[in-house]
């Protein structure tokens, strides 16, 4: 029965540092001796100039005032009336449209940005034509 058991001790040791920096021996020796070394910047290395700065400058230079679109009051009321005429709660309509109930609430309270596909789905589900601006 004891022939299958291994009673030898297990010894765990930390390994020494591994060479993961990718430096060759000449570069490492030069850095240790504080000798002068030349560096070459690779194309696009260590820079965050992907286009975000350009986009930010374009946004700052834009003098036009943009207004976010929202659904109209008439749309919100029409949606609410059509939904209640069908006897649906916001949650029920959301399940039929495969969206979150907060989306329906946002449309009815004029907080949402109009999405034509969703509005078309609402019109088909409720069987009414909803007003659009």
- Please report the pLDDT score of residue 125 as a whole number: 94
> DSSP secondary-structure letter at 2?
G
Listed in sequence order, the residues at least 6 apart from 83 whose beta carbon sits closer than 8 Å to its beta carbon are: 89, 90, 93, 104, 108, 126
- Within the chain, which residues score under 70 in pLDDT? 1-2, 16-23, 35, 37, 41-54, 63, 66-68, 133
pLDDT at 67: 67
pLDDT of residue 112: 84
Secondary element (H or E) of residue 119: helix 116-126
Q: What is the tens place of the pLDDT at every residue in 100-113?
A: 999 999 999 988 88
Query: Could you report the per-residue pLDDT of 42-52, keeping only the tens digit for each?
Result: 665 555 555 66
- State the pTM of this model: 0.50
């Amino acid at each position: 029965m004891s022939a299958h058991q291994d009673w030898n001790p297990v010894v765990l040791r930390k390994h020494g540092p591994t060479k993961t920096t990718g430096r060759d021996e000449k570069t490492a020796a030069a850095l240790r001796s504080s000798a002068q070394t030349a560096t070459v910047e690779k194309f696009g290395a260590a820079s965050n100039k992907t286009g975000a700065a350009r986009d930010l400058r374009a946004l700052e230079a834009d003098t036009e005032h943009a207004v976010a679109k929202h659904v109209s009051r008439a749309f919100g009321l029409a949606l609410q009336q059509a939904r209640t005429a069908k006897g649906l709660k916001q949650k029920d309509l959301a399940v039929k449209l495969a969206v979150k109930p907060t989306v329906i609430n946002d449309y009815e309270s004029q907080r949402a940005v109009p999405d034509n596909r969703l509005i078309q789905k609402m019109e088909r589900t409720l069987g009414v034509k909803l007003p659009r601006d």
